[in-house]
Amino acid sequence: MKNLKSILYPLIFVILALSLTSTVFAAASFTMNDLMFGSATQVRNQDVSQVLHIVNDGTADLTINLASTVPSIYNVRFSQSVVTVTSNSSVDVTVTSFMPLSQSSLQTDFVSGITATANVAGLSRTAKVSYDAISMLEVYKVSVDINGDDRSLHRGDVYSSDIIKAGADVKFTVYVRNNFGSVDDIEIDDVNLDIQSSGDLDVDESDSMNDLQYGDKDQVSFSSTIPTDAEDGDTYDITVRASGRDQNGAMHYDTYNARMEVQRPAHEITIKDIVLSPQSVTACNGKATLNVNLQNTGRNNEDKVHLAITNPDLGIDQRFYEMTIDKDDTLMKSYSFNIANTTAPGQYDIILTSLYDTNTESDTQVATLTVTPCPQTVVAPVVTSPVVVNPTPTTIPTIPQVVPTTGATPVYGSASFTDSPEYLIILVAAVIIVLAILIILLVKFIF
């Protein structure tokens, strides 16, 4: 029995202590709200204030100490850092924070930005603190060009038109600007654009543009095609995102949303994929072939499709009658024609017109053919033999005879070497050499 008491008494004491503690905690309780500083229109480099609402929902009066764990650049201050909140009452505390130049326009969260500690052991709460500021990088316009028809996609609106049809080529152009003014003189660098679409519209691209000085604008284009099986009423959500960093380190983000809706007409025969081969011919009996696809882009099947190909100047008047094309199907037609050699050089527009119900026009397209002159025939020059004319005999003039006043009469054309001065010089030299040899011999053998 004594041993049992020694076990029970401590156990009862623990149970009583736990019960008392839980009673204290149940009696002391409070809540407070999260704080959001700034918004999508908040200007930087100024103070922003919010109200921290503290509610004592317990039965005990509380003294609460407030503190901030937000980075010092935000300079968080409290109108009172220690507050007394009686039971079942509330207190409002004004919290002021600085919005730095480096604050991004994308929301920044500090999960435990403010801590509130009560005078009851273990009783504390935290409040999330968030910051947001205006984006000075703005997507101010998005236009869509469908087969040459340029329209604006207004932010948040639905663009519904009969030009948004199956198989149509689409070009999106995104216009961006830096909204800083000359007073700020802040440049936004590394500007990037991203465009995405929902559904089967294949648009998921990114592109960059030049750095933007204050007040500068720029634009980027993206291309896509409406699905060929698009039905009437199909919608495509377009989302454009722009981002860039300014010289203070702040990121600027802007998102532009719009929606396009397909309006498919009841009857429509679209002329597609026109191929004219060749595109240039000579007027010397040239020949060309025109291939064209007809696609039923309307809501109904058609059994009285008509195609006209005409150009009066080239003598072209080709008709294809009573063709059947079901919805979304394509039919190819081919037409070959000759160019008369009397055709004047120049460019000729060949008109293609599609019709349904035989005589109701649906689509018109143009194929341009260039006709060039016939090459000129080169005539070889006639080569004739020269006429030989007997020449007049050449008369050799007679050299007049010169009669010297003294000496022998010279004979022209018959003088020999022995009569020349050179012969006399050689003869004299030979005589001198012989005399020299004779003198040497006489001196040696006689004297």
What pLDDT, on the 0 to 100 scale, is given for residue 263? 84
Tokens 């076990």, located at residue? 7
In a domain, 407, yes or no: no
What pLDDT, on the 0 to 100 scale, is given for residue 166? 80
CATH code at position 353: 2.60.40.3880
In a domain, 361, yes or no: yes
Range of the domain at 236: 137-262
What pLDDT, on the 0 to 100 scale, is given for residue 135? 97
Does this model's pTM top 0.85? My answer is no
What pLDDT, on the 0 to 100 scale, is given for residue 112? 92
pLDDT average per 10 residues of sequence, the chain (447 residues): 50 42 64 97 97 96 97 97 96 98 95 96 96 97 91 91 84 96 94 91 88 95 88 91 96 96 88 93 89 90 94 94 91 93 92 93 94 75 56 50 45 54 75 82 72
In a domain, 389, yes or no: no
What pLDDT, on the 0 to 100 scale, is given for residue 203? 86
Distances (CA, A) of 169 to 163, 174, 198, 265, 276: 10, 17, 17, 17, 21
In a domain, 69, yes or no: yes
SS (H, E, C) the chain: CHHHHHHHHHHHHHHHHHHHHHHHHHHCCEEECCEEEECCCCCCCEEEEEEEEEEECCCCCEEEEEEECCCHHHCCEECCCEEEECCCEEEEEEEEEEECCCCCCCCEEEEEEEEEEECCCCCEEEEEEEEECCCCEEEEEEEEEECCEEEECCCCCEEEECCCCCCCEEEEEEEEEECCCCCCCCCEEEEEEEEEECCCCCCEEEEECCCECCCCEEEEEEEEECCCCCCCCCEEEEEEEEEEEECCCCEEEEEEEEEEEECCCCCCEEEEEEEEECCEEECCCCEEEEEEEEEECCCCCEEEEEEEEEEHHHCEEEEEEEEEECCCCEEEEEEEEECCCCCCCEEEEEEEEEEECCCEEEEEEEEEEEEECCCCCCCCCCCCCCCCCCCCCCCCCCCCCCCCCCCCCCCCCCCCHHHCHHHHHHHHHHHHHHHHHHHHHHHHHCC
* Same domain as 308, residue 252: no
CATH code at position 221: 2.60.40.10
In a domain, 241, yes or no: yes
What pLDDT, on the 0 to 100 scale, is given for residue 8? 46
What pLDDT, on the 0 to 100 scale, is given for residue 204? 86
What pLDDT, on the 0 to 100 scale, is given for residue 383? 57
Cα-Cα end-to-end distance for the chain: 191
* Domain final residue pick, 336, 356, 372: 372
* Same domain as 159, residue 235: yes
Q: In sequence order, what are the beta bridge partners of 323? A: 305
SS (H, E, C) 352-417: EEEEECCCEEEEEEEEEEEEECCCCCCCCCCCCCCCCCCCCCCCCCCCCCCCCCCCCCCCCCCCCH
In a domain, 420, yes or no: no
In a domain, 423, yes or no: no
- Least Cα distance to 138 among 71, 81, 193 occurs for 193
What pLDDT, on the 0 to 100 scale, is given for residue 7? 54
Cβ atoms of 74 and 167 within 8 Å: the answer is no
What pLDDT, on the 0 to 100 scale, is given for residue 237? 93
* Same domain as 50, residue 155: no
In a domain, 434, yes or no: no
What pLDDT, on the 0 to 100 scale, is given for residue 384? 57
* Same domain as 151, residue 218: yes
* Same domain as 144, residue 102: no
The pair of structure tokens assigned to 413 is: 């054309």
* Domain final residue pick, 372, 388, 422: 372
* Same domain as 118, residue 34: yes
Question: Measured between alpha carbons, how far is 124 from 64 in angstroms, rounded to an integer?
Answer: 9
